[in-house]
């Protein structure tokens, strides 16, 4: 079937289906390997309103070397909804993953389609669908979180004699979680004690909105002013808040300093760009946990247009030489929010591969930043999951960097779904909200009113901050008749305890022994494995 859309021809594999699956049951409603044909499959089922449909299929091309293939949903009263995308190839199968949440209960059409000026023949095989309600989806998330964000820890304590074992216990307090839910800040935090107190009491991760950007720090050529950024860095460091740098450069001409926009000589632009990079990156070297090097260099191409098609790769190369120890991020929008467009996960992945494959860039520490500016509507969670799969496939850290959503009746519910989906994905290593109290000017995701009382969105963030940080715990030391004859010591064990990854202070005490107390540091990480045995020798 050939269709025409916005002046571009598409070849489409068309399936009319009604899905009625047992909750959580994975089935093969159909399996086929057809060349492109104008043929409707006989099997029809029905989508149920509000349920989550996870879809996967194997696809390949017959007459093209490589092209993106996406899966799209359409039906009566259902707008086009893109549910996933994969870079398909000729002669080998690629797995397309994604899904949908539909807003009606109705028959729907599913299309496998490839955009382009020429027709592409698509073969599709082993289409699988799985239906979840929201409770089942959340249960699956919690199971994954238990696996990827926690490890079991057991303490083995060696004592000189039996008496200190009986009645001893271990106190565990998390100092910093490995996974951080952070929040952006702007210059208004320097003007308000209340904003500052509100922020530092909650967050241990931030990025600045505009204060590090070129148009702020060098409004007039040759006159640099880092007053705001320096003051905000000092505030963060004094309160042990980690800072992700945003941004060294921006690939949109609109957001260059006014004087840069007037530059027409590529050599002149190259020189001022080098000065900018050396200035800002060396100023904050060793003080940041990552840099957005070129903001939105898929949607825009100012530096490529002025300096050549390899401009991004060369800029990242220089950035890596200036600060080789931290991740250098791509930062794009419409990446986990929507399943098509310039910022698609496939394009982001390809851009990062292009950068690191450039001569000399093999050892660059890359990073993937998905801004995650969601529209005020039900987020497509299975698509978001498949997008994060694609972004994480390079092995670089993935962050949600500017998460927000305009106000709507279900804003809090939708935001919780987005944040839990990110937290439950193993590729995601951090989240930064584009939010704040009302006085800070964040008018989409506002977390507190002008009196710094929480909004409902603020209550959600406080709940997640508490949930994603390990509560203090006390566990007993269990005495076992295990005598190490070689060293003449008694061994005590603790029960296994499941701990969120992070840094801890651990204290061993015995209330009946006044002078018996010892404290040590502990880090629980993914690399520790599913069970970490901590051995400690105590002299009492």
- Residues involved in catalysis: 296, 402
The single-letter DSSP state of residue 308 is -
Helix or strand or coil: residue 389?
helix
Helix and strand numbers (H, E) in the chain are 12, 29
Tracing tokens 């004690």 back to the chain, one arrives at: 193
Q: Output the six-digit token pair for 355.
A: 């950068």
- Element (H or E) spanning 160, and its range? none
d(CA 481, CA 345): 57
| CA–CA distance, 448 with 456 (Å, rounded to integer) | 9
CA distance 538 to 339: 57
The values of phi and psi at residue 536, to 5°, are -140, 130
- Centre a 10 Å sphere on the Cβ of residue 136 and count the other Cβ atoms it contains: 15
Report the C-alpha gap between 57 and 376 in whole angstroms: 29
Phi first, then psi, for residue 351 (nearest 5°) are -65, -40
Q: Are 517 and 508 contacting, i.e. CB atoms less than 8 angstroms apart? A: yes
Q: How far apart are CA 273 and CA 157, in angstroms?
A: 57
CA distance 10 to 336: 24
- The rounded distance, in Å, linking the Cα atoms of 391 and 401 is 14
Q: Are 243 and 289 in contact (CB under 8 A)?
A: yes
Give Cα 336 to chain centroid, integer Å. Answer: 9
DSSP letters spanning 229-242? HHHHHHHHHHTT-E
Question: Which residue matches tokens 């490995």?
Answer: 178
- In this structure, the strands spanning 531-537 and 150-159 are parallel
φ and ψ of 408, to 5 deg? -160, 165
Task: Say if CB 485 and CB 476 are below 8 A apart.
Answer: no
What's the start-to-end Cα distance of the chain, in Å? 81
Strand partners, 475: 170
Least Cα distance to 15 among 46, 34, 41 occurs for 41
């Amino acid at each position: 079937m050939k269709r025409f859309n916005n002046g571009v021809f598409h070849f489409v594999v068309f399936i009319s289906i009604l899905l009625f699956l047992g909750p959580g049951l994975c089935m093969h409603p159909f399996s086929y390997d057809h060349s492109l044909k104008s043929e409707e499959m006989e099997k029809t089922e029905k989508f149920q309103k509000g349920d989550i449909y996870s879809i996967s299929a194997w696809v390949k091309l017959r007459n093209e070397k490589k092209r993106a293939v996406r899966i799209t949903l359409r039906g009566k009263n259902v707008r086009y909804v893109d549910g996933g995308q994969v870079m398909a190839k000729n002669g080998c199968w690629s797995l397309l993953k994604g899904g949908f949440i539909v807003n009606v209960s109705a028959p729907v059409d599913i299309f496998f389609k490839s955009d382009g000026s020429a027709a592409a023949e698509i073969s599709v095989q082993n289409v699988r669908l799985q239906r979840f309600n929201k409770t089942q989806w959340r249960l699956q998330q919690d199971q994954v979180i238990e696996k990827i964000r926690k490890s079991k820890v057991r303490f083995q304590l060696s004592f000189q004699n039996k008496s200190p074992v009986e009645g001893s216990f271990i106190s565990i307090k998390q100092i910093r979680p490995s996974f951080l839910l952070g929040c952006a800040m702007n210059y208004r935090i320097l003007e308000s004690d209340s904003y500052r107190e509100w922020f530092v009491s909650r967050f241990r991760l931030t990025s600045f909105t505009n204060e590090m950007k070129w148009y702020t720090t060098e409004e007039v050529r040759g006159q640099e002013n880092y007053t705001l950024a320096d003051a905000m860095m000092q505030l963060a460091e004094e309160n042990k808040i980690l800072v992700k740098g945003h941004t060294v450069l921006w690939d949109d001409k609109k957001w260059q300093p006014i004087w840069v926009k007037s530059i027409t000589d590529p050599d002149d632009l190259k020189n001022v760009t080098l000065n900018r990079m050396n200035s800002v990156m060396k100023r904050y070297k060793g003080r940041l946990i990552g840099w957005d090097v070129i903001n939105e260099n898929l949607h825009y191409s100012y530096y490529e247009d002025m300096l050549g098609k390899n401009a991004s790769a060369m800029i990242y190369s220089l950035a890596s030489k200036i600060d080789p120890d931290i991740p250098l991020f791509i930062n794009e929008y419409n990446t986990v929010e929507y399943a098509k467009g310039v910022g698609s996960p496939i394009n982001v992945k390809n851009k990062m591969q292009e950068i690191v494959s450039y001569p000399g860039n093999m050892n660059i520490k890359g990073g993937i930043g998905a801004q995650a500016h969601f529209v005020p509507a039900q987020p497509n969670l299975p698509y978001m999951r498949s997008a994060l799969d694609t972004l994480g496939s390079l092995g670089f850290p993935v962050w949600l960097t500017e998460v927000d959503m305009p106000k709507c009746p279900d804003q809090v519910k939708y935001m919780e779904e987005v944040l839990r989906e990110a937290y439950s994905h193993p590729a995601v290593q951090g989240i930064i909200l584009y939010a704040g109290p009302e006085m800070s000017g964040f008018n989409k995701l506002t977390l507190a009113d002008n009196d710094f009382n929480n909004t409902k969105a603020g209550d959600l963030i406080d709940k997640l901050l508490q949930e994603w940080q390990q509560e203090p715990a006390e566990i007993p030391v269990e005495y076992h008749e295990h005598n190490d004859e070689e060293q003449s010591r008694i061994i005590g064990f603790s029960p296994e305890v499941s701990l969120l990854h992070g840094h801890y202070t651990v204290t061993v005490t015995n209330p009946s022994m006044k002078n018996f107390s010892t404290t040590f540091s502990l880090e629980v990480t993914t690399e520790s494995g599913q069970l970490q045995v901590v051995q400690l020798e105590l002299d009492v």
